[in-house]
Amino acid sequence: MRKIDLESLACFKSVVDTGSVTRAARQMNRVQSNVTTRIRNLEERLGVQLFLRQGNRLNLSAEGEVLRGYAERLLRLSSEAESAMLQRGPQGTLRLGTLESTAAARLPPVLSRFHERYPDVSIELVTGSTSRLIDMVQRYEVDAAFISDPFHAPELAAQEAFDEELVLIAARSATGVLDPTQLSRCTVVAFSSGCSYRRILEEWFASTGVVPYRILELASYHAIVACVAAGTGIGIMPRSILKAVHAEPQLQVLPLPRRYADVTTHLVWLPPHESASREALRQLLADERPQSEV
C-alpha cells in the first residue's frame, strides 16, 4: 500500500482552508485539475469520502475532520524538520492552551520576551479548564498547555511554570464567611466542574464537613469578581488575578489553609513529539522560574 504523501496532504489542507478546489489551486499556484486529482487519489487510497459538497462550497466529512488533525501535525513537523536542517531558529506557529487566569496574569510578560527572542514564531492561544486543556493536548489540538494542580495525566510530560496562591473572596459586607454554618448557606461562584481551582475549593469544603447551598457557574474571572462583590456568594481564585484586574479593593480577601492555597501551574505536552518552538518556550520558563520564586 502506498503511503500518504505530503503534497497530497498540502492540497487537502488548502482545500479545507479555502473551501474550494479553485481557490486552493490559486493559493498553491497549481492548475485546478492537479488539486482535484490529488484529492481524488487521497480518497481512493484511504477508502473514504473526505468532502461533502454543499452548493459551491466543500465541507469536511467526519473522516475528513479526522484527517485534518493528522495533516496539520504532519505538515507542521515537515516544516520544522526543514527548518532544523537549515539550522534556523524556531519558527512557524506554536499553539498553546492556557487557563484564563494564567493568560491574564502570567503570560503577557513571558510571551513578550518570547517574541523578542523568536520573532519568527506566531503564538495562538486558546483558554479552557484544566480537564479541557488536557484533552486538547491529548488530541494534538494544541502543542502544549498551561494547567494547574490538581490533575492526573501520567501520559503527559510536565514542567513547573508558575507558583500561585489561592485565596477565598467574598463581598466586603459579608460577615462570618469562614463560619461552617455560614458556609453551608452560601453560594459558590466558580467556573465549570473541569476547573482545578473549583476542585480545590470543593475539597476544602469537604474537609470542613460542609456542602455549599448551591454553585453558580460563570465563564470569566471578571464575571465571578462582579458577582462576588455584589454579594451573590463566595469564590476562589489566584491572588495574582486579583492584582492583575485590580479587584482587591472591591472584595474581602481571605486566606485558605496552606495545603489548599499553594498550587503550581505546569506546562504539559505529549511526548515524544518534538517542537523547536515548544522547547524554546520551555527553556525560557526554566530560565525565569527562579526569579518568580524570589
Domains 6-85 and 164-262 fall in the same CATH topology: no
Fold annotation for 164-262: D-Maltodextrin-Binding Protein; domain 2 (3.40.190)
Mean pLDDT of 32-37: 90
Determine the Cα–Cα distance for residues 161 and 83; give it in Å rounded to an integer.
27
**Rounded distance between C-alpha atoms, residue 9 and residue 15, angstroms:** 10
Mean pLDDT over 149-177 rounds to 92
pTM beyond 0.85: the answer is no
**Predicted confidence band of residue 200 (pLDDT cuts 50, 70, 90):** very high
CA distances from 65 to 15, 17, 49 (A): 13, 12, 11
CA separation (Å) from 154 to 57, 151, 158, 273, 294?
Answer: 42, 9, 9, 16, 30
Q: All 3 cell numbers of residue 106?
A: 502570567
Mean pLDDT over each residue of the chain, to the nearest integer: 88
For 231-271, the pLDDT digits (tens) are: 999 999 999 999 988 888 889 999 999 999 999 999 999 98
Confidence of residue 88 (pLDDT cuts 50, 70, 90): low
Residue extents of the structural domains in the chain: 6-85, 92-163+264-293, 164-262
Backbone angle region of 186, left / alpha / beta, with phi > 0 → left and psi within -120 to 50 → alpha: beta
CATH architecture classification, 6-85: Orthogonal Bundle (1.10)
Task: Verify cis geometry, omega within 30 degrees of 0, for the bond prior to 108.
Answer: no
Q: Looking at domain 92-163+264-293, which CATH architecture does it have?
A: 3-Layer(aba) Sandwich (3.40)
